[in-house]
Amino acid sequence: MADRATEPPPDRTDFHEVEDGEELFVEPPEVQSQPASLAAEDISTNSNGPKQDLFDDDPEDLFAEATEEVSLDSPERDILLSDGPSPAITPITPPTSVITPRIGHAHDDMFTHSSFDEIEEDEGGDSLDIHISVSDPEKVGDGMNAYMAYKVTTKTSLSLFKCNDFSVKRRFSDFLGLYSKLASKYLHIGYIVPPAPEKSIVGMTKVKVGKEDQTSNEFVEKRRSALERYLMRTVKHPILVKDPDVLQFLESSELPRAVNTQALSSAGLLRMVNKAADAVNKMTIKMNESDAWFEEKQQHFENLDSQLRKLHTSVESLVCHRKELSVNTAQFAKSAAMLGNSEDHTALSRALSQLAEVEEKIDQLHQDQANADFYLFSELLGDYVRLLTAVKGVFDHRMKTWQKWQDSQVLLQKKREAEAKLQFTNKPDKLQQAKDEIKELEGKVQQGERDFEQISKTIRKEVSRFEKERVKDFKTIIIKYLESLVQTQHQLIKYWEAFLPEAKAIS
């Protein structure tokens, strides 16, 4: 019999029965241990639009009491929100030390032998003193080989960096390459990695082969703004900001060319195939989730994602409507001016000319408000739709970690049954090999359990940080958006009040 009897795991349909004479004791492939996760703290975003200020900061907090209404955690769920192992887990091994992430660079030692609590103590405070701006988009080259280069300026007091103020030039594929590297290191251990802006083949093709016009300029400005917000979200993460690839991206004057970032390439096609395979695996894996916290959060994020997408679509329609209103207002102003020039009545002609001037000013107000609608509100919603995809992604990786653990348990049980059969049939030549393989599988099962506990703990911390930052972001942006609306309405009133005496003077 086996040295240790364990309760067999639940039956799974994707494992076949052992046939007589089938060789079970083959040399298993070496499994690289998965890194355990590290700690996380708050991040903050930098939602921005065009380089002009649409409003001034108001020192008075319009929603000072609103944060008292927001409660992400309730006393009834203190047990579920604790840092201990999930209720779904029955520990069978003593705690293990945190495993170093797979980072093949010179900065590896900064993560070695670190625990969650140690990293949190090192960070201290709610935010990191670092600000990044992306500016001066410049077209390099001609034709389809052309690309846009951006100036990335970093200002910080963090000792991680060699200087306090420095700038580098980066192209769009460099940003995509940075995200790809961070995602490969941290997503599978439970970290929420902010996604980079999506590629736009149509928009960039117009910039490459077309002349500069309003459409291409708007595309470049939207991308510049999105890249700036992406970098700010990345460096505000207390773990990602220390990553050697992030430090190299921000500091190095020369950066290795990012590969496999093209949308229309074999690598792009492979990514699409992998996404489809992951979707199929997600449907086939049936995880018996007994942790109410994870079940509740997954449902919460699914509902939130659906509602944010609907609101994002509505705000995009509002932006289009505001731009159409601006165009129609400009046409009205031209028509009023032409009518005033042809009018013989002096007072009426002067009033119509003044009306045309007012409408021209209102046209500019509508353009400014359309920019505020987009850069303040629509872009925030779009960013969080993509962030929620990353959040749901770490939940999927937790499921994969659980599946790997369960697969090891099933294989261990089969090996033990085969060992018992060898003892019964008295085959000592294979018995020692069976014992060695069982011992190795027991280590894999224990490591799988530790990995599952660790990713569960990391996700709890990351979700808590994400929720706090989400509330903070939405409060900040809603206040700014309301201030822009109020300023626009006040300016409209001033314009019409100034025009009213001119209209009354018509006799």
Ordered mean pLDDT values, 10 residues apiece, the chain (507 residues)? 44 42 44 41 43 43 42 40 40 34 36 38 58 93 85 93 93 94 95 92 73 80 95 94 95 81 53 58 68 93 96 96 96 95 91 95 95 93 95 94 93 91 81 89 94 96 95 95 96 95 88
For tokens 């079940």, the residue is 295
Q: What share of the chain is helix, strand, coil (3-state, %, to 5)?
A: 60, 5, 35
Residue among 133, 131, 134 at smallest CA distance from 156: 131
What is the pLDDT, as a whole number, of residue 257? 78
CA distances from 445 to 16, 89, 90, 95, 410 (A): 20, 13, 13, 14, 10
What is the pLDDT, as a whole number, of residue 430? 81
**Burial class (CB within 10 angstroms; exposed 0-12, middle 13-18, buried 19+) of 152:** buried
Provide the token pair at 438: 């069982």
CA–CA separation, 150 and 188 (whole Å)? 30
What is the pLDDT, as a whole number, of residue 323? 94
For tokens 């091994």, the residue is 93
Provide the token pair at 269: 């096609």
Whether 87 contacts 288, CB under 8 Å: no
CA–CA separation, 478 and 47 (whole Å)? 12
pTM of the model as a whole:
0.69
What is the pLDDT, as a whole number, of residue 253? 87
User: Could you give the count of Cα atoms lying within 13 Å of 71 in the half-sphere of its Cβ?
Assistant: 8
Whether 140 contacts 148, CB under 8 Å: yes
For tokens 């000592």, the residue is 428
Question: Other C-beta atoms within 10 Å of 226: how many?
Answer: 21
What is the pLDDT, as a whole number, of residue 39? 39
Q: What are the phi and psi torsion angles at 124 (to 5°)?
A: 55, 140
Residues 6+ apart with CB under 8 A from 270: none
What is the pLDDT, as a whole number, of residue 358? 96
| Ordered strands of the 165-171 beta sheet | 130-140, 147-156, 165-171
User: Could you give the count of Cα atoms lying within 13 Å of 457 in the half-sphere of its Cβ?
Assistant: 19
Residues 6+ apart with CB under 8 A from 279: none
What is the pLDDT, as a whole number, of residue 433? 86
CA distances from 426 to 20, 95, 423 (A): 16, 38, 5
